[in-house]
Amino acid sequence: MTRFRTSTFAISSVLTVALACSSIDTTHGGTEIVRSSAAAVVGDHDVLTQHNDVNRAGATLHETILNTSNVRASSFGRIGTTPPTDGLVFAQPLYAGAVTMAGRSRNILYVADMTNVVYAFDADTLELLQRQFLGAPQDVGDVQDGSRPDARNVISSTIGVLSTPVLDRATNTMFVVGKRGVDVHARFHLFALDMQTLAIRTSVSVCRSNDAADTNVCNEKGNPFDPDVQLNRPGLLYSHGTVYAAFGSNEDKGDYHGWVVAYASDGFSFSPQGAYSTTQRNGGGIWQAGNGVAAADDGDVYFMTGNGIWDKQVPPGTEPRDEEGSFVRLRAQGGSLVRVGSRYPSNTASLFNNMELNDADLGSGGVLLIPGTTKLIGGGKTGVLYTFDRNFTGRASLELGQEGFHAFFNEWDDPGHTAAGYDTNLVKAPHIHGSPVFWVAPTGEGRVYAWSEKDRLKAFAVNMATGAVDRQPQSAPPNAIVSSYKSMPGGILSLSANGSTAGTGIVWASIEDPWCAGGREECNAENLRTRGRLIAFDAETLRTLWQSEANTLAKFAPPTVANGRVYLSTFDHKIVVYGLNGQQRPTYPTDTLWQSAFDDSKCVGTANNGSMVNGTELVIWDCSGNPDQRWRITEQGFIKNPDQTVKELVATKIAELHDHITGLRVDVDLSSIGPRIFSGGRQPILNGLDIPSVCFNPYRSSVTSLFKAASSQTQKIVECPWLKACSQTIPVQKSD
Q: Give the residue with greater pLDDT, 554 vs 627.
A: 554
Q: What is the pLDDT of residues 103-114, one digit of tens each?
A: 899 999 999 999
Residue 538 near residue 528 (C-beta atoms within 8 A): no
Assess whether 527 and 592 both reside in one domain.
Answer: no
> Is the pLDDT confidence value at 704 over 50?
no
Query: Measured between alpha carbons, how far is 407 from 472 in angstroms, rounded to an integer?
Result: 8
Least confident residue range of 117-121, 474-478, 697-701: 697-701
- Which pLDDT does position 220 carry in this prediction? 83
- pLDDT bin (cut points 50, 70, 90) of residue 57 is very high
Nearest to 46 by CA among 106, 114, 5, 107: 107
Which uninterrupted H or E stretch holds 355? helix 351-357
Q: What is the pLDDT of residue 127?
A: 94
pTM of the entire predicted model: 0.76
Average of pLDDT values for 323-351? 85
> Hey, how many other C-beta atoms are within 10 angstroms of the C-beta on 736?
6
- The pLDDT confidence band at residue 273, using thresholds 50, 70 and 90, is very high
Residues 595 and 569 in one domain: no
- List the CATH number of the domain containing 351: 2.130.10.10
Whether residue 75 sits in one domain with residue 38: yes
Same domain, 228 and 264: yes
Is the pLDDT at 183 greater than 70? The verdict is no
571 vs 263: CA distance, rounded Å:
31
Of 35-44, 158-167, 437-446, the range with the lowest mean pLDDT is 35-44
Q: What is the mean pLDDT of the chain?
A: 75
Q: Does position 22 have pLDDT exceeding 60, yes or no?
A: no
Residues 196 and 122 in one domain: yes
Confidence of residue 561 (pLDDT cuts 50, 70, 90): very high
How much of the chain exceeds pLDDT 90, in percent? 46
State how many domains the chain has. Answer: 2
Q: What is the pLDDT of residues 537-556, one digit of tens each?
A: 999 999 999 999 888 889 89
**541 in the same domain as 621:** no
Q: What is the pLDDT of residues 416-472, one digit of tens each?
A: 888 777 766 666 788 999 899 999 999 999 999 999 988 899 999 999 999 999 999
Strands 437-440 and 706-707: unpaired
Residue 578 CA, chain-centre distance (Å), reads: 16
Among 561, 580, 599, the domain-final residue is 580
Which residues on adjacent β-strands are paired with residue 493? 509
Q: What is the pLDDT of residues 220-236, one digit of tens each?
A: 888 889 888 889 999 99
Q: Same domain, yes or no, for 477 and 595?
A: no
- Does 18 fall in a domain? no
Q: Which of 522, 526, 486, 479 is nearest to 674 (CA)?
A: 479
Are residues 446 and 493 located together in one domain of the fold?
yes
With contact defined as beta carbons under 8 Å apart, do 81 and 30 qualify? no
Range 403-411 average pLDDT: 90
Q: Is residue 4 part of a domain?
A: no
Specify whether 249 is located in the same domain as 121.
Answer: yes
211 shares a domain with 107: yes
The closest alpha carbon to 382, from 609, 78, 357, 314, belongs to: 357
* Listed range (203-207, 286-290, 523-527) with the worst mean pLDDT: 523-527
CATH number at residue 711: 2.80.10
Number of H helices, E strands in the chain: 2, 51
Q: Which residue has the higher pLDDT, 691 or 633?
A: 633
- The domain of 110 spans 27-580
310 and 362 part of one domain: yes
Judge whether 497 lies within some domain. Answer: yes
Residue 90 has pLDDT above 80, yes or no: yes
Residues of the chain with pLDDT > 70, as a percent, come to 67
Compare 553 and 497 and report the one with higher pLDDT: 497
Give residue 478's pLDDT band: very low, low, confident or very high (50, 70, 90). low
- As a whole number of angstroms, the distance between CA 722 and CA 220 comes to 53
